[in-house]
Amino acid sequence: MRLPFRFPAMSAAPVFTRAYAALVYLSSLMLLVGAAVLTGTRAREAFIFVFLPGVLLAVLGIFIWSGRRAAMILALGVGVAVELMMIGNDPANWWQFLPMPVLFGALTIAGFNASAVEPRTSAQHVADEVYAAVVYFAGLLAAFMAPFNHSRHFGGTGVALYALLVGAGLGSLSVLIWRGRRWAMIATFALALGHWLLLAGIDPLLWRSFAFIAAPVVFGVLTVICLAAAAGSRASGQSEPP
């Protein structure tokens, strides 16, 4: 059921859903970083109440990008719940999370007139979407783990900036990979490899850390798979993604 009004330019409607998905993703990054920081304070018991909404928003962002209205409504509900928790636990700072439900609400209304994106089902596109999902959640994991892994290297302010830059960067690349951009797949692998080499140069213990070498290895394997799938699609006469 559609709202009683429509936007004049329906071709611009997907912009609202994608802006909503990007905002939801950034909100999830901030919540995950906040949850990690809480574990080192006297309020560590509140960690789970920030961590769970962050993870939920990250998952919902995938479906919002595809124009799923139920995910838009659920994300709005998560935003309202986070604001209510803030009011209950710290009334003096009730306004800090208010932009979340306000913006989510406005974009939910806008996104209700957006057409759902048609799913892609070829083997090539499935490989692209798997790679995109791995990169997407790698960004979230990197943001969440940054305060634990890098506080001694970058300090409190530096590690927060690092977490948001890495998370936002991988999130942006995942969008391009989802759309089948080969250069984004190669860039993701190259950046992951460079990131590992840079950090290992700072802390030699990371040369032997499976967790830090896993990203370039997995991204490299997925890049090869996706490039091979794209070559196979071209050979069979299927078109590249627009």
Q: Please state whether the predicted TM-score (pTM) of the whole model is above 0.85.
A: no
For 67, residues 6+ apart whose C-beta sits below 8 A from its C-beta are 14, 17, 111, 114, 115, 116, 117
Name the residue type at position 228. A
Q: Where are the domains of the chain?
A: 1-118, 120-242
Please give the Cα distance from 64 to 27 (Å, whole number). 14
CA distances in angstroms from 84 to 45, 50, 62, 97, 101, listed in the order given = 18, 12, 25, 9, 10
* Residue 10 clears pLDDT 50, i.e. is over it: no
pLDDT at residue 40 in the model:
83
pLDDT at residue 237 in the model:
63
76-116 pLDDT tens trace: 999 999 999 888 888 888 888 899 999 999 998 887 765 54
- How buried is 70 (Cβ within 10 angstroms: 0-12 exposed, 13-18 middle, 19+ buried)? exposed
> How many CB atoms within 10 Å of residue 199?
17
* Residue 4 clears pLDDT 50, i.e. is over it: no
34-70 pLDDT tens trace: 998 888 888 787 888 899 899 999 999 988 988 888 8
